[in-house]
Structure 1
Amino acid sequence: MTKPLNSENYKAILRLLREMREELEVSQIVLSERMDVTQTFISKCERGDRRIDVLEFLTWLDALGVPAEAFISRLNRVVQIGKGNPELRQRRSVHKNRNTRS
Structure 2
Amino acid sequence: MATRANLAENERLLSLVRQMRVDARLRQADLAKKLGEPQSFVSRYESGEHRLDVLELRQLCTVLGVSLADFIKRLEGESR
Q: With the length of structure 1 as denominator, give the TM-score of the two structures.
A: 0.71
State the partner residue of 1:44: 44
State the partner residue of 1:67: 67
Quote the Cα distance in structure 2 between the aligned partners of 1:74 and 1:55: 18
Gaps of 5+ in 1: 81-102
> Equivalences for 1:85-96 in 2 at 5 Å?
none
Aligned length: 78
Per the TM alignment, residue 11 of structure 1 is displaced from its structure 2 partner at its CA by: 1.3
Matched, 1:11 2:11: yes
State the partner residue of 2:22: 22
Report the residue type matching 1:19 in the other structure.
Q
Report the residue type matching 1:10 in the other structure.
N
Quote the Cα distance in structure 2 between the aligned partners of 1:42 and 1:76: 22
Runs of 4+ with deviation above 3 angstroms = none
Alignment root-mean-square deviation, CA? 1.4
Gaps of 5+ in 2: none
CA displacement 1:46-68 (0-9 Å, x = unmatched): 00011111111111111111111
**Corresponding residue SS for 2:26:** coil
From the CA coordinates, give the structure whose radius of gyration is larger.
1
